A and B are shown apart, each in its own frame.
Chain A
Amino acid sequence: MTQETPKVKPSLMHNTRIFYLVPLVAAIIPFFANDYLQFMVNMIMVYVLVTVGFNLVIGNLGQLAFANTAFFGIGAYMTAILMNYAGFTFEIALVGAAISGGLAGLLASITALRGIRIYYLAIITLAFGELMRWVYIHAESVTRGTDGLPLPDVTVFGMSMHSETAKFYVFLVITVLVVKGTSNLLKSRVGRAILAIRDNELTTASLGISTANYIILTFVWSGSVVGVAGAMFAASTERVFPESFGLTEVIVHFAMVMVGGAGSLIGSVIGGVVLTALPEYFRQFPGMEELFFGVIIIAVLLFLPKGLVSLLAKVSPLFRERYYRE
């Protein structure tokens, strides 16, 4: 065992600021992408946030709560409803989606707080998602049921967001802000408390940390992030359908978390990107999409139980999660 870890001054390759290059490089995508590719890139950002939010509960807090499609659907429907019936513009509806997602997260946290854990929590939260889908289908006067609820012209701060390029830049700003905010939280006492609860709830309490408050906080933040993703999803498809938020959807979300790396923010980004982009790529070979999806999940979980990010962590310490700052 090494006695001393040598102190190296972080070079550019060892400084997490290098991650700021990712959105900067991504910002040039519209200059060469066609509408279809642009739409897919926008979807990738939606699923990055879906995974970032889900991973907080599944990976960081270690709770098997599968209410993610509920958060996602509530965010999407809330956006469509606020824009249709209250005349809100997208930026205001987005706040509404974040708040309603957070409230749904609060509701989901009650089950975990009441000592409902593991399989029971899994089945209750899955039921929550299915219940919400039933509501979307049957609250026809508001949601228009299975016909779907179209969005009026999507505008942000008075500018049209109709083109894929406009959506891209709005989504890029939202995604960067949400991922950075989540990173800030995780690299602080909040992130450490969440992780400590996953490892040993009793010891965490013995250190004077209010475990209940942090369980609630994780669910609410997770719900808000996924609610925002739902708002982006609604803006992207311009019409929300109940069928987008079914059981297969939550399996996709779960796969993104596990393939990227449970408990890793960078893993969430990777999982969201890979499992949105690659299945889409395989759609050109009929029938291959599902096959590919199944194979990659099995392969990653068999050979890389800590997800694709663990491969990168072997190459560079940049990809190892740090829960403090200096």
Chain B
Amino acid sequence: MSGLLNLADVSVHFSGLKALTDVSFDAHAGEVLALIGPNGAGKTTLFNVISGYVQPTAGEIHFKGEPIQGLTPHEVSAKGVRRTFQNGGLFGDMTVLENILTGLHVQIDSNFFGLLLGTRKADEAERAAAARARRLLALMDMDGFADQQVKSLSGGQQRMVEIVRTIATEPPLLLLDEPAVGLSPPMRARMMEVIKRLAGEEGISILLIEHAIDLVMAGSDRIVVLNSGQKIAEGKPNEIRENREVLEAYLGYA
């Protein structure tokens, strides 16, 4: 078994409805793997089953060689598989910067008494975290919003903040559910660029659901195509572009 995440014959049946049937693929460390397919193909179900929100009817899922099927969402998250949601769980009463800082929480090296007394070490750890949070926001061109309340941002901007906050936790594997939906075209391009850079420079592996096919072709290393709950193709963007079955099923060409 190779790769960071391995799916072996994963099936999900909801009282007779076959949402996923025998789906197998591997996601490798440091790659951007895109999941595409028409509506109802089972992409979101696949995300839910990986992140523990839905239990598989059959099949096995391994992360870093350990089985993760049957774990709760919190346990999957603790293993290092983190996901974003369409309607993210941002902390609305905090500023953008403070939200990012909660993502950095476990990396801030300070203890209770250091923080209480305001020791230099604790102070510097806090300041360094704030500086890192600003740098992460700058990655997404969001640094201008750092001191705004999250509540005052648009939906697309909030999604950006949620992604930055999830990235801040330094997850080995990040599941992004349609990160570019609702974003302006320049922001979408920026988002894909950032996703690519995260995988390349930070070594974060990314599994991505995306409808905008141009973004997927330009931004991902490999693509898995689902149709009616089954994997119909897997390969590099140029292979997928020329795959006859994909063209028929998904891209709409005859």
Contact = CB atoms under 8 A, between A and B. Distances in A.
A3 interface: yes
Contacts of A209: 102, 105-106
B98 A208 contact: no
Contacts of B133: 324
Interface in B96-137: 97-98, 101-106, 108, 110, 112, 115-118, 122-123, 126-127, 129-131, 133
A184 interface: yes
A209 B78 CA distance: 10
B123 A181 contact: no
Kindly state the interface size class of chain A when it binds its partner: 20 to 34
Contacts of A195: 91, 93-94, 98
Given A5-B144, A192-B102, A193-B105, A184 B117 contact: yes
B235 to A, nearest CB: 33
Interface in A212-259: 217
A55 to B, nearest CB: 15
A35 interface: no
B74 A203 contact: no
B89 A192 contact: no
A217 B148 CA distance: 28
Most A CB contacts (10 A, CB to CB) among B98, B130, B152 go to B98
A217 B78 contact: no
Contact of B73 (A4, A192, A206): A206
Most B CB contacts (10 A, CB to CB) among A1, A2, A207, A209 go to A207
Contact of B101 (A180, A181, A324): A324
B146 interface: yes
B115 A185 contact: yes
Interface in A1-54: 1-5
B182 interface: no
Nearest to B146: A5
B228 interface: no
Contacts of B108: 188-189
Most A CB contacts (10 A, CB to CB) among B92, B102, B133, B147 go to B102
Contact of A190 (B78, B115, B117): B115
Contact of A5 (B101, B116, B147): B147
Interface string A179-204: 01100110111101101101110111
A30 to B, nearest CB: 28
A131 interface: no
Contact of B102 (A4, A5, A185, A207): A207
A144 B48 CA distance: 63
Given A1-B152, A195-B93, A207-B102, A326 B131 contact: yes
Given A199-B91, A325-B130, A207 B105 contact: yes
A135 interface: no
A80 B111 CA distance: 33
Given A189-B101, A196-B94, A181 B117 contact: yes
Contacts of B231: none
A3 B98 contact: no
Interface residues of B, number: 43
A202 B90 CA distance: 11
Given A184-B117, A199-B91, A206-B82, A193 B112 contact: no
B55 interface: no
A323 B94 contact: yes
A323 B108 CA distance: 14
B127 A326 contact: yes
A195 B77 CA distance: 21
Interface string B136-173: 00000000111110001010000000000100010000
Contacts of A203: 89-91
A299 interface: no
B95 to A, nearest CB: 8
Contact of B165 (A188, A207, A217): A207
Interface string B41-73: 000000000000000000000000000000001
Given A185-B116, A188-B122, A192-B98, A207 B103 contact: yes
A190 B98 CA distance: 12
Contacts of B123: 325
B105 A206 contact: no
Contacts of A180: 118
The 7 closest A-B pairs by CB, nearest first: A203-B89, A199-B91, A184-B118, A4-B144, A188-B115, A208-B106, A206-B77
30 contacts: A1-B154, A3-B144, A5-B145, A5-B148, A180-B118, A184-B117, A185-B115, A188-B108, A188-B122, A189-B101, A189-B105, A192-B98, A193-B105, A195-B98, A199-B91, A199-B94, A202-B89, A203-B89, A206-B73, A207-B106, A207-B169, A208-B77, A208-B105, A217-B112, A323-B101, A324-B97, A324-B133, A325-B126, A325-B130, A326-B131
Given A189-B105, A199-B94, 12 more contacts: A4-B144, A5-B145, A5-B148, A181-B118, A192-B101, A196-B91, A199-B92, A203-B91, A206-B73, A208-B78, A323-B98, A325-B123
